[in-house]
Each structure stands twice: as C-alpha cells, then as structure tokens.
Amino acid sequence: MASTFLSRIIGLVRVKYIVWLFGRGVQADALNAAFVMPDMISYFLVGGAASITFVTILTRCRETGREPEGERSLSVILTTMYLVLGATIVLAEIFAPWYIHWWFNGFDAEKAALCVRLTRILLPAQLFFFAGGVFGAVLLVRKQFSVQAVAPLIYGLGTIVGGVLLVKHLGVASLAIGTVAGAFFGPFFLNAFFARRAGTRYRPILDLHDEGLHEWVRLSLPLMAGVSLVTADSWIIAHFASATNGAVSLMSYAKQLFTAPMAMLAQAAGAASMPFFASLWTKERRYEFAVQVADSVSRVAALSLLAASAMIALGKPMIDLVFIGGRFSAADARECAAYFAVFSVSMFLWSAQSIYSRAFYAAGNTFVPMVAGTVVTVVSLPIYASLYHWHGAMGLAIASDIGITMQTVIIAILLHRRQMVSLASLDYVELGRCALAGAAGGAAVWIIFSWLGRLVIPLLGSHLHTPSRWTDLDIVLAGTAVWLVVTNLVLVKTGSALPRVARQRLGLG
C-alpha cells in the first residue's frame, strides 16, 4: 500500500505535468484518448489478467511440487503470446485511423489525426505489460511483493522523463514515447530481471499441446470473450465525452485522481491477497477462504468509505492545489472537481469488487465473472447514453456510479449463491460505523469551510479572495485535521476497533 501510494503520487505528478503543458486542449484530449485502443487490445487479447490467471496456475504447480512444469509452461505461453500479440499490434498500427474515427466520432480531423499518431506510438507497450505481468506472477507466487511495488513507479516516471527530454522537439508525442520506455524498464525489465534471479528461465518454446498453455487459455478465454465494466467504464466515458471539447481530458484527470486512493486500498490489497486466496482454495480450506475474502472486503470497503468522505469534502481545494497552473484554469478545476466528487461516492464499491473478483479468479473460475461483467456492461450502455444526453459529461460520472453498483452487487450475490463467500460474513456493523464517521467528518469539513468562506474571509480582507497555492494548501491541511478529529471521535464513540488498530500499526500504542 505504501509503494502504491508513492506510485500514485508520481502518477499525479505525471498528470500535473500533462495538465500544465496541455490543459484540456486538443493535445490533451488526443493523448488521453490514445490509451483506449491499446488498453482494449490488452484486455480482449490477453484477458487483461496475465498475472491473475498465471498466479492460479503457478500456485497449483508450486503446491503440488511441479515447479519445472510450471516454468516450461511460462516459456510456452510467453512465446505463443509474443507472436499473437505482436501480429495484432501490427494490424492495429494499420487500422488505427479507422478505429479512432469510429470510437471517437466527436473528434474533429485535427484531433483525430493526432490521436492516431499517439495511439501508434503507444501500442507496442502492450507487449511489455503482458510479459511483465507473467514474470510478475512468478514473484507474487513466491510472496515477493517489492518488485511489484517499484515497477509502477518507473512506469510513471517514464512519461515525465520523456516529456522533459523531448517535449520541445516532439511536443505531446514525447509523453507517449516516455510512456513506452517506462513500460519497458518498469513492468517488463524489472519483473523479468528479478524473476530470473529467483531461478526462472525463459526459453523460446512453441508447443501448442502444452497443458499449461491449455489451462491458461481456459482461464483467460472467458476474460477475453467478455468485458467487465471495471475496465470498460473509462472506454465508454471517453467514447461519449469525445463529442464535448475538453471533456475527455477533464474526466480522465478526475478519474486518475480518484483512483489514487482506490489503488492504494483496493488494488494493492487485491494483488497481495490473490496468492493467499489461491493457496487456500488449492488446499481445499474453504471456510478459511470464505472468511479471508469477507474480512478483506469489509476492511477495504470500510477504509474506502472513510477516504471517500474526505475526498468529496476536500476535492475542490485538492484539485486547485494539484492542477491549476499553466494551461489549466480555475474554471477547469471547478468542473474537474465536480466529476471527482461524483466518482468518489462509489469508491467503496470499486474497492469491494476488486477483492470479490479475485475470489473467483483464485478458485480458477473466470467464466462466471466474465458473464456477469459482460451483462452489466451491456445493460449499462443505454444508461451512459441516456445520462449523457440529459446531463452531459456529468451524466457519465453518475452512470459510472450506477454501473459499478450493479457490478459489485451481482458479483457478491454470485459468490454467495455458490456458497463461496457468504454475504452474512461481511462486517456490516463496522461498515456502518465507518459510513457514519465519514459522513460526520465530511459534513464537518464542509460546514466549517463554507461558514469561513461566507463570514470570516470577507472580514479579513479582499486579498484573501484571490486563490493561491498557500491558501489551497492551508485548506487541505486544516480540513484534513478537522476530518481526522471528527471521524476518530465518532469511531471511538461507536466502539470501532479501527482507531486502536491504526495506532498499533503506527507504533503509537
């Protein structure tokens, strides 16, 4: 979680750099949209889950003493997918103009042409992500998480370094080049290097009869055949938002700021818990499996409820502090903050589904979540379209919350009905305490600073009306302090163990 937090900080620096240079203009929209086609190829061709499915296979081989067999399968799968994915990327380079004009039909000719150019630069990075995911699975199975922690940091820095070195000569294309370099040195090279140090040896082997390849295809094919709203949400938003100038960029910035705490809580916990879930299931310790999954969901959802309340209350000054400057105006920040607040409402649901979905993957069942995710995505499409028609880009943010609610509830019910993880096992009392504490803390922050803005600041002088970095920082720090005091008080008074556990983890008693 600590490394994920640092990674997201670097990610925000990356976004800030893009915002400063290009704001919400043509180049920013084109760059943010250029990531969609490569992401789609990765998702539909390799299931978007190279490490998830491979963890299941390697865990089973490790638990049954068949590690050499697992290592050979790794070589076969990598060799096969290098060929398949490489050929697909070549075709995508050719057909990129047709795709961009179809998916981003709201782009004018200039923006579409730039988006095509940037998309073509970004496409090869998918080879590095796939191979890095496979090598990373080797380390995850060995409970070695440090490399997984560092790789995203290098990836995020790649974009920044590329821009600093090349932006004067290549413009926005420098950021795309830096992103590809970051994908090579971070997710791919680092994982490959340490997997080799751990004893794994990759050899080019093409064997279509390999049992490990067949099992990987069986696990990954459902993920390739279907689509989950968890991934498709950003694609759908970008599709509709392309008809509104600057909306693709603003919603992308809001989403990236929103995913920073979510990644720290949910994705880090999900990645770390996956091998433990898989090991429990392989050993047929079903009761412990169910308890561990339910406890993990309860914890990350409870923490997410608390975090979301602070994010909603302090979203505007945070975005002012982080983003305003260069070509990003105060008006842009206000619009971005509104999207950010709406996205934050559903943070606990995004966190919960991240754990729930891994329960299915750990059990070797990717078909059921695929079907559920595809049905939810199809049902959600008219919701996105209707809300965009009625409320513009804000309607897309609302539709995103509705969609992830359906996704999480359906996955939880399916686990319950299959007697894998009972809904009754969730800690509803602690979730209620955190929801109450979060609501109280967020309301306190909003009321205090709303009152200060209306009554106190005008009495102290008109110069305080002028926004500044120091003013925004003061509001964020003071608001955080108020939020911590109020939420801690409510948690203690309602009997929550969270404050005590937090103090113990921090070494404060």
* In the chain, domain spans: 35-225, 233-311+325-425, 427-509
Distance CA 138, CA 194 (A): 9
Whether the Cβ atoms of residue 438 and residue 382 lie closer than 8 Å to each other: no
| CB 310 within 8 Å of CB 4 | no
Mean pLDDT of the chain: 84
Q: At what angle do helices 330-345 and 247-262 cross, to 10 degrees?
A: 50
Dihedral sign of CA atoms 137, 138, 142, 147 in order = negative
Instruction: Please tell me the predicted confidence (pLDDT) of residue 465.
Output: 47
- Phi/psi at 467 (5° precision): -65, 145
Q: What are phi and psi of 214, to 5 degrees?
A: -60, -40
Q: pLDDT digits over 156-203, tens only? A: 889 899 988 988 889 999 999 999 999 999 888 888 888 888 777 778
Owner of token pair 């922050």:
445
How far apart, in whole angstroms, are the C-alpha atoms of residue 345 and residue 398? Answer: 9
Model confidence at 131, pLDDT cuts 50, 70, 90, reads confident
Q: CB atoms < 10 A from the CB of 202, how many?
A: 16
pLDDT tens per residue, range 197-231: 877 777 888 888 877 777 777 777 766 666 778 88
Q: Do residues 80 and 131 make contact, with C-beta atoms less than 8 angstroms apart?
A: no
Identify the pLDDT of residue 282.
Answer: 82
String of DSSP letters for 102-147: HHTTTS-HHHHHHHHHHHHHHTTHHHHHHHHHHHHHHHHHTT--HH
Q: With a cut of 60, say whether residue 457 has pLDDT above it.
A: no
CB 316 within 8 A of CB 300: no
Is the Cβ–Cβ distance between 171 and 27 less than 8 Å? yes
Beta bridge partners of 328: 325
Q: What does the pLDDT read at residue 33?
A: 95
- Which ranges of 198-326 would DSSP assign to H, the alpha helix? 211-225, 229-241, 247-262, 268-282, 286-323
pLDDT band at 336 (very low <50, low <70, confident <90, very high): very high
CB atoms within 10 A of CB 509: 6
Name 412's Cβ contacts closer than 8 Å, sequence gap at least 6.
352, 356, 421, 423
DSSP structure class, residue 454: I
Which of residues 65 and 254 earns the better pLDDT score?
254
292 token code pair: 């561990």
- The identity of residue 55, as a single letter, is V
Q: How far is CA 106 from the centre of its chain?
A: 26
pLDDT for 407 equals 94
Q: Give the pLDDT confidence score for residue 460 in this predicted structure.
A: 45
Longest dimension (CA), the chain: 79
Tell me the per-residue pLDDT of 78-119, one tens digit each, with 9 for 90 and over.
Answer: 888 888 889 999 999 999 999 999 999 999 999 999 999 999
Q: Among 85-94, 119-128, 452-461, whose mean pLDDT is lowest?
A: 452-461
- Sign of the CA dihedral with 256 first, then 260, 266, and 267 last: positive
Yes or no: say if 422 and 290 are a contact pair by the CB < 8 Å rule.
yes
Residues 307 and 265 sit within 8 Å (Cβ to Cβ)? yes
Instruction: Assign 463 a pLDDT band (cuts: 50, 70, 90).
Output: very low
Residues 6+ apart with CB under 8 A from 209: none
% the chain with pLDDT above 70:
85
Cα separation, 255 vs 337, whole angstroms: 10
